[in-house]
Amino acid sequence: MTVHFARAGRPLLVPLGGPRARPAAPRAAVALITPLLQISPADHWAVWAVIAACAAAGQQLEGTRVGRALSGPVCAMALAAALTNLRVLPEPTAEFRLGQAAIVRLCTPLLLLSADLRVILGSTGRLLPPFLVGTAGTVLGALVGVALLAPQLGAVPGGLTCAAALAAKNIGSGLNFLAVASALDVPPPTVAAALTIDNVGALCYFPLVSLLGARVPAQLARADGPLTPPAPSGGAPSVVPGVQPSGTAGPLTPPAPSGGAPLVVPGVRPSGTAAPPTPPAPSGGAPLVVPGVQPSGTAGPPTPPAPSGGAPSVVPGVQPSGTAPPTPPAPSGGAPLVVPGVQPSGTAAPPTPPAPSGGAPLVVPGVQPSGTALALALALALCSAADRAGPPAAVLPTVTALTVALATLCAQPLAPLLPSARAFGGLLLYLFFATAGASGGVAPALCAPLAWFTLIIYVVHVAVVLAVGRVAGWPLQDSLVTSSANIGGPATASSLAESRGWASLVSPAILVGTLGNCIATFIGIGLHSVMLSIARAVGVAP
């Protein structure tokens, strides 16, 4: 149908409805540019440069709304998959597979160097029983899922082995998924599909847990105490440190210790005193001068006695009264002398420190270059020891056991290396997710069985955690935090505790999540044998 309009004596034809021809210019531009961007399979440096760029983009996107919804690793994987589908990245080669396996093997010891079992088992407190129940719920859900979906999972390449990896992930974290998938040789397309589905499931799970946690008040007590501290005998209100009771005019006076002497808190003046106590004068009668404390009764800072010659003495850091700030003499050449920490007069902003000679890199607090090198050397040594200690299929479980044993026995010497190891290990995890996306993207045919299996794991896990917690009388926040540690790992569990105001559960949440990282790989590999037996029992050949 065409509507005719007249404009300036010329008919104007406006088509309404019917198919419209899509402009061919964008498609032609893509067809023209794509061959120019295609990377040869032999150009390994360019391939890994693009993989690293996808990992960096995933890290940056994690702070955006899209990144928070999908998670940074999934963003990195999606970018690499898109570049693979556009034929920018080539099909994975044997060298690419070797690099992918090396990333998984190396990040395992780096991320487990903080797994001191003595601290974990001694400090998790009341969270340990709910965490073990959540682990049992995940195992039960995985077995139920395999029993119900064995034919469908058997039709997926590596479906049963990937089911074991998903179970390990929902006991520990993504690190355990990678370890089990690599140890059992899950095909890369199945790995990419499973990671995508599990992250979609997490998008539904974590808001549910947060919604349930909204019914629990913010926790004020310690991890082993009640939510609200009880009032002592006699009806006096209980005193919570740092909380000012209503109706009081001033700060609380801390109770006196045994013996009747008042407790002196640095920086807090005892009630009833008009001025801070004057320290006693030393022998000789001269008053004791405390740096930063003005003697009572003086109108200004004390003026030091003048030396011989009548000129007043200058004390560093003390400005004589009535004088302007002294300007340091200019060095030869006329440029003013710059004193560190002193702002030149007339300048609007502090001076920018000059770059050190030799181009020394910027040092990030907590991450030292030497610590990164030592952590890398230690991780490589552990991987080498695992290669020598067992068969190739057991390398990742072996390196996990060696790392946990070393972290438990040598926790104190390893403490300076932990920030560098965590930073480097996290980078390697992002690189692996990018390589998973570059391995062929997500095949829709693989998604349905894995999606149903993941749903069964989540439903059974949550049902077991809430039911057992209710029967045992555990606080709801304990069950929610430990469940989050199972499904999402230490960072997710601590974030839930912090966002809900359960301050005393933040550190125990990290510890139980780390415990999950220690045990999930072994549980996942053990589950694989049980899953194969279930599949054979229902008539499915693995």
Is the pLDDT reported for residue 389 higher than 90? no
Residue 189 has pLDDT above 80, yes or no: yes
**pLDDT band of 93, cuts 50, 70, 90:** confident
Question: In terms of residues, how long is the chain?
Answer: 542
Please name the residue ranges forming H helices in 10-71. Answer: 25-37, 44-61, 65-70
What is the per-residue pLDDT for 125?
83
Pick 50 or 67 by higher pLDDT. 50
pLDDT at 248 (0 to 100): 42
pTM for the predicted model, two decimal places: 0.64
Token pair 């002193």: residue: 342
Question: What does the pLDDT look like over 288-323, one tens digit per residue?
Answer: 444 554 554 444 454 445 444 444 444 444 455 444
Question: Helix, strand or coil for residue 3?
Answer: strand
Residue 369: inside a domain: no
> Which tokens belong to 211?
């919604």
Indicate the range of 20-24, 48-52, 518-522 predicted with least confidence: 20-24
Report the chain's mean pLDDT, rounded to a whole number.
75
Q: In this structure, what are the phi and psi dihedrals at residue 45, rounded to the nearest 5 degrees? A: -65, -45
Whether residue 447 is contained in a domain is answered as yes
Amino acid 266: pLDDT: 46
pLDDT band at 371 (very low <50, low <70, confident <90, very high): confident
Q: Report the share of the chain in percent with pLDDT over 70.
A: 64
pLDDT greater than 90 at residue 409 = yes
Using 50, 70 and 90 to split pLDDT, how confident is the model at 35? Answer: low
Banded pLDDT at 23 (limits 50, 70, 90): low
Predicted pLDDT at 351: 45
Burial (Cβ within 10 Å: 0-12, 13-18, ≥19) of residue 334: exposed
CB of 296 within 8 A of CB of 278?
Answer: yes
Q: What is the pLDDT of residue 33?
A: 64
| For range 33-60, the mean pLDDT | 87
pLDDT at position 137: 97
CA–CA gap between residue 249 and residue 73 (Å, rounded): 52
Residue with the bigger pLDDT between 193 and 230: it is: 193
Domains in the chain, number: 1
**Range of the structural domain that residue 524 is part of:** 40-218+397-537
Retrieve residue 388's tokens. Answer: 């020598």
Tell me if 483 is assigned to some domain: yes
Per-residue pLDDT tens over the stretch 343-365 = 444 444 444 444 444 444 444 45
> SS in 3 state form for 221-276?
CCCCCCCCCCCCCCCCCCCCCCCCCCCCCCCCCCCCCCCCCCCCCCCCCCCCCCCC
Query: What would the mean pLDDT of 147-152 be, rounded to a whole number?
Result: 94
Alpha-carbon gap, residue 251 to 245, rounded angstroms: 9
In a domain, 4, yes or no: no
Statement: residue 190 has pLDDT above 80: yes
pLDDT for residue 524 is more than 80: yes
- In sign, the C-alpha dihedral spanning 356, 361, 365, 368 is negative
**What is the reported pLDDT for 87?**
85
Contact at 8 Å (CB) between 300 and 322? Answer: no
496 part of a folded domain: yes
> Which has more pLDDT, 417 or 203?
417
The amino acid at residue 467 is A
Percent helix, strand, coil in the chain, to 5, is 55, 5, 40
Q: Give 201-260 pLDDT, tens digit per residue.
A: 887 898 888 888 887 776 444 444 443 334 444 444 444 444 444 444 444 344 444 444
Q: What's the pLDDT at 516? A: 94
> Hey, what's the torsion of the CAs at 284, 287, 291, 295, to 10 degrees?
180
| Residue 22: inside a domain | no
Instruction: Tell me the pLDDT tens digit for each residue of 474-509.
Output: 999 999 999 999 998 898 898 888 888 898 898 899
pLDDT given for residue 193 in this prediction = 87
Q: Is residue 284 part of a domain?
A: no
Instruction: Give the tokens for residue 311.
Output: 């000129």
Decide if 378 is inside a domain: no
Q: Is the pLDDT of residue 44 over 50?
A: yes
- As a whole number, mean pLDDT of residues 399-409 equals 94
Q: What is the pLDDT of residue 530?
A: 95
3-state secondary structure of 178: helix
Q: Angle at the Cα of 65 (from 487 to 63), degrees rounded to 5?
A: 75
Q: In this predicted structure, what is the pLDDT of residue 466? A: 95
pLDDT for residue 367: 60
Question: What's residue 57's pLDDT?
Answer: 94
Pick from 196, 106, 203, 193: which is nearest to 429 by CA?
A: 106
pLDDT at 281 over 50: no
